[in-house]
Amino acid sequence: MHSKKKTKSEIVEQIYKHLQLDLKDIRAVADLFLQEVKDALIDGKSVELRGFGTFEVRDRKGRAKARNPKTGEIVSVKDHSVVAFRAGKDLKSSVWDLNDRKVAEKKD
């Protein structure tokens, strides 16, 4: 059975298998890339990765009465920011028929 998630370590390992570069260097590039994305978002910039999607920061209004979904307790939530991701056209079209492919695999 396939795992429902792929970790950064697994992605680094796949890149290593394709490129045969030093594993330590691949890890460093991956970490630097993610840090650059994070820094841009902290600076209020959106990050566009053509063919993949766009990361952006969105502001959320606070509420006096919100409910903690775990405990059911009423809490107040102040104004805050969240990171949002919008899939790009290529990514959307790549996963569009994913459900059909899963059904076809089960039949085989």
Domain range for 70: 46-108
**75 and 34 housed in the same domain:** no
What is the count of structural domains for the chain?
Answer: 2
pTM for the whole structure: 0.76
| Res 4: pLDDT | 87
Structure tokens, 20: 């045969």
How is the chain split among helix, strand and coil, in percent rounded to 5?
A: 45, 25, 30
**Residue 34 contacts residue 7 (beta carbons within 8 Å):** no
**106 and 77 housed in the same domain:** yes
**63 and 105 housed in the same domain:** yes
Confidence label for 1 from pLDDT (cuts 50, 70 and 90): very low
**70 and 88 housed in the same domain:** yes
Give the pLDDT confidence of 50-89 residue by residue, as tens digits. Answer: 999 999 999 999 999 999 999 999 999 999 999 999 999 9
CA 79 to chain centre: 23
